[in-house]
């Protein structure tokens, strides 16, 4: 594995990582970059192949960032942050003429809309068929639409939740999209009282069909990140480190691969599945005493060749990053950049329907 050439008596620089030698070549061949969110470190990080032998990272600060959504038609990104959802639009022209580093980036995501949702603890996020944004509102135990009229508009609530209150009753956390809308949802239990999911946390997880309100499978070990790949439903079982494929008709599932770690966040590109790994917090009253806690001692990304279930590569963080929430592949992108709203620089990139400009600073 490639790693930084760091003296043993010096700490690693921020966000240092090591990775399998084949990872840069694989990302280059797939013509893609990765976006990962870490609410623990407050960063969105782009990981790209610098060449076929090395990777380059671009971390940007976003407060408690979790779900990542990508609208491939309009090339937009949306991020679920502490109390807002921020939408970004990509401009390849502005990327090429980026004043600080011209001809360095092939994509530049600039903030275009901020929705002030309040602190809803939004987990998964996704663009719908017509560009609308759906989010998993974990605090209120429902799936919502994000719009400019309200903090949130309820879209679907599990039938066992009898009241919409800010109590995180079942830890609804994930949604799988089918035909441009939410199709399946994951939760830690069927509880209807405040944070009831903290009891028997590894034994009560569920997957639900949103259209029928039926529970497809129960007894899951902390399910996260349900996704539909080629009409098949997959989900990560965080408490066992397993990627499973679910038969929605029988409620049975098969283990595709078992990883030694807390798995959460995944994205498929061609035949390769990129899965996030997180360290467990030893001082956590919820996670610290789980039976596999000692194994979950590494944060990073494991790459799985989905047709065979074999491990194709790994990225492991050595500093700064302990927990990953979401992982998203950015196709046809080898060096993306993104500008947050914390600095003034994002105001200089101007886009119209027909042209782009970098603002000229006044000399006064």
CA 319 to CA 300: how far, in whole Å? 11
Cβ–Cβ < 8 Å for 229, 268 = yes
Domain segments of the chain: what residues?
Answer: 17-350
pLDDT, one tens digit per residue, over 220-245 is: 999 999 999 999 999 999 999 999 99
Q: What is the pLDDT of residues 120-169, one digit of tens each?
A: 999 999 999 999 999 999 999 999 999 999 999 999 999 999 999 999 99
Tokens, residue 66: 């979790």
Q: What is the DSSP letter of 107?
A: E
Separation of alpha carbons 352 and 335, rounded Å: 23
pLDDT of residue 218 exceeding 80, the answer is: yes
Contact 42, 62 (CB under 8 A): yes
pLDDT at res. 284: 59
CA-based nearest residue to 94, from 357, 331, 336, 359: 357
- The two three-digit tokens of residue 294, written as one number: 């000692």
Distances (CA, A) of 181 to 24, 33, 145, 156, 243: 34, 25, 11, 11, 23
For 267-316, how does the pLDDT look when each residue is reduced to its tens digit (9 = 90+)?
999 999 999 999 986 665 566 656 666 677 899 999 999 999 999 999 99
Instruction: Report the candidate in 171, 224, 160 with the shortest Cα–Cα distance to residue 195.
Output: 171
Fold designation for 17-350: Neuraminidase (2.120.10)
């Amino acid at each position: 594995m490639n790693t930084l050439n760091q003296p043993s008596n010096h700490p690693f620089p921020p966000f240092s990582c090591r990775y399998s030698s084949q990872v840069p070549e694989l990302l280059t061949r797939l013509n893609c970059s990765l976006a990962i969110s870490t609410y623990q470190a407050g960063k969105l990080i782009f990981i790209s192949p610098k060449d076929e032998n090395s990777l380059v990272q671009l971390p940007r600060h976003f407060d408690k960032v979790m779900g990542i959504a990508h609208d491939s038609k309009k090339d937009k990104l949306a991020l679920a942050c502490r109390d807002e959802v921020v939408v970004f639009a990509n401009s390849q022209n502005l990327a090429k003429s980026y004043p600080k580093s011209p001809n360095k980036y092939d994509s530049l995501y600039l903030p275009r809309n901020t929705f002030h949702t309040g602190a809803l603890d939004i987990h998964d996020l996704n663009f719908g068929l017509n560009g609308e944004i759906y989010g998993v509102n974990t605090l209120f135990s429902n799936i919502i639409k994000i719009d400019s009229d309200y903090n949130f508009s309820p879209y679907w609530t599990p039938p066992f939740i009898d009241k919409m209150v800010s109590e995180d009753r079942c830890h609804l956390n994930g949604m799988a999209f089918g035909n441009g809308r939410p199709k399946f949802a994951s939760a830690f239990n069927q509880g209807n009282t405040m944070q009831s999911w903290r009891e028997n946390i590894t034994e009560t997880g569920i997957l639900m069909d949103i259209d029928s309100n039926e529970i497809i499978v129960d007894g899951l070990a902390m399910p996260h990140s349900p996704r539909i790949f080629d009409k098949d439903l997959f989900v990560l079982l965080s408490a066992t480190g397993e990627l499973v494929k679910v038969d929605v008709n029988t409620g049975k599932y098969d283990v595709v691969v078992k990883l030694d770690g807390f798995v959460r966040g995944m994205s498929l590109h061609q035949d390769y599945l990129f899965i996030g790994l997180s360290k467990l917090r030893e001082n956590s009253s919820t996670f610290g005493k789980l039976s596999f806690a000692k194994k979950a001692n590494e944060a990073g990304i494991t790459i799985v060749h989905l047709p065979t279930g074999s491990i194709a590569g790994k990225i492991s963080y050595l500093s700064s990053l302990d927990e990953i929430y979401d992982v998203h592949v950015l196709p046809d992108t080898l060096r993306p950049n993104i500008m947050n709203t914390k600095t003034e620089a994002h105001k200089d990139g101007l886009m119209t329907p027909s042209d782009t400009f970098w603002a000229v600073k006044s000399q006064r």
